[in-house]
Structure 1
Amino acid sequence: MNGTKTALVVRGGWEGHQPVEATNVFIPFLEDNGYGVRIEESPKIYADAEYMAGVDLIVQCMTMSTIERDEFQGLHAAVENGTGLAGWHGGIADSYRNTSDYLHLIGGQFASHPGKHPDDRRGDQSDNYVPYTVNMLPAAADHPITRGIGDFDLFTEQYWVLADDYIDVLATSTQKVRAWDPWHREVTSPAIWTRQWGEGRIFVSTPGHRVEVLEDSNVRTIIERGMLWASR
């Protein structure tokens, strides 16, 4: 590894989120910003306390999967002591569903991505792609992650998120009520947020389903800035 700072990329889980291809989008950016990058294909590395103490930034892209107790404790200790944690979509907001302490750490959890009308579904991932707007909040106007970025539209999975009020929300998206939906009023979920945990910073972007979404100029800029913001 080269560079004066250390970034740990932990990737894996459900292959539909392209964990290898997706993280490869951002590794050159990290290297260009002075990070030596280490790649791991499981969260086992989190249990190595000596190594984790020197990590400045964790970029996690691990959808679902599981995490062992010592691995989570290592991750939690690293963040609490100042290691940044950043990620997008299911790679951070739908990881380790069976570990409630992880959900507490992140502050927002994927619940659903309501899809197209049943008659329009084809049995593939696109069944869950809908048009929606990412709405920037006033707090985003001067934040280093989102400064200069206005509302923007996407056609991809729209996350319905369960969240607490300790997250600092920079952008939201609103799930509409459609004729076939069982809910009766619009639901607004956080789409981009940060969180302070001990000495560490956490950054989450719910847009980022696949590489083509990550290559949207707004999404990519927000994630690149979010990684740098979260880093020690």
Structure 2
Amino acid sequence: MRALIVRGGWDGHRPVESTDLFVPFLAAYGYEVQIEGSPAIYADAAVMAETDLIVQCVTMSEITADQVAGLRAAVAAGTGLTGWHGGIADSYRACSDYLQLVGGQFVTHPAKEPAELVGTEEDNYLDYTVSISDQGRTHPITKGLADFGLTTEQYWVLTDALCDVLATTTHPARRGQPWHRAVTVPAVWTRRWGQGRVVVTTPGHNPEVLQEPTVRTIIERGMLWATRTASESSGSE
């Protein structure tokens, strides 16, 4: 099996260190791993045709028309696509074709109460719960996992009905914020695109979050589930 790690974009998500955490896992499962520093590789049809799994960690940045066309074609033909946090849910903001492929877009991570702000990135670290959905309790990626708590950025994402939601998180109505009732959004979802599988996990702001046991389990199971050979051999959604 061949896995392609594509990393780069905004360095605040530490794309090199974060993706390096999962290289030993992929190697242990028999993947030959190729690492690229930009989405330019997506335009190489020969490479993409031989790729069984793409792990993307590119926050913001840009993608060209031929690159996103290559990515969409590869996934439609059976290549799996997965990633976490801004590396997949906040990539290529200006590209609607990419957003349709992954099925969701980061829009904010609410901050602490105004009186608690100190001017560091921890202003955006909240205590919150990731809740496994009814569908998630039987899905191979999240089966057997319990709801869990994190203290990190809590993503608010916009998604559509093609996503199969395995876990959610709820943003409460809070003082100083303009929304007036609690808002529940997906935290982990899968998506079928042609013959391919897409898995998005929104926790993963930094390597510390990625090493939280349940987060890491979801990401690693998602890699295996999304891989082309898994898609071809299993009818499980």
TM-score, normalised with respect to structure 2: 0.95
Match of 1:10 among 3, 6, 10: 6
Any idea what SS the aligned residue of 1:86 has? strand
Partner of 1:148: 144
Identity of aligned residues (%): 62
What residue number does 1:160 align with?
Answer: 156
2:68 corresponds to 1:58? no
Q: Does 1:211 align with 2:212?
A: no
Cα deviations across residues 203-226 of structure 1 (Å, max 9, x unaligned)? 000000000000000000000000
Q: CA offset at residue 27 of structure 1? A: 0.7
Residue 187 of structure 1: aligned partner: 183
Counterpart amino acid of residue 208 in structure 1: G
For residue 118 of structure 2, give the secondary structure of its aligned residue in structure 1. coil
- SS of alignment partner, residue 147 of structure 1: coil
1:196 counterpart residue number: 192
Aligned to 1:42: 38
Q: AA paired with 1:185?
A: R
- The alpha-carbon deviation at position 122 of structure 1 amounts to 2.0
Structure 2 unaligned spans of 5+: 229-237
Residue in 1 aligned with 2:221?
225
Show structure 1 runs of 4+ deviating over 6 A: none
Task: Tell me the secondary structure at the aligned position of residue 157 of structure 2.
Answer: strand
TM-score (norm 1): 0.97
Corresponding residue for 2:133?
Answer: 137
Give deviations 1:56-80, integer Å, cap 9, x for gaps: 0000000000001111111010000
- Computed over aligned residues only, the root mean square deviation of the Cα atoms, in angstroms, reads 0.6
Q: Do structure 1's residue 21 and structure 2's residue 14 form an aligned pair? A: no
Deviation at residue 142 of structure 1 after TM alignment: 1.6
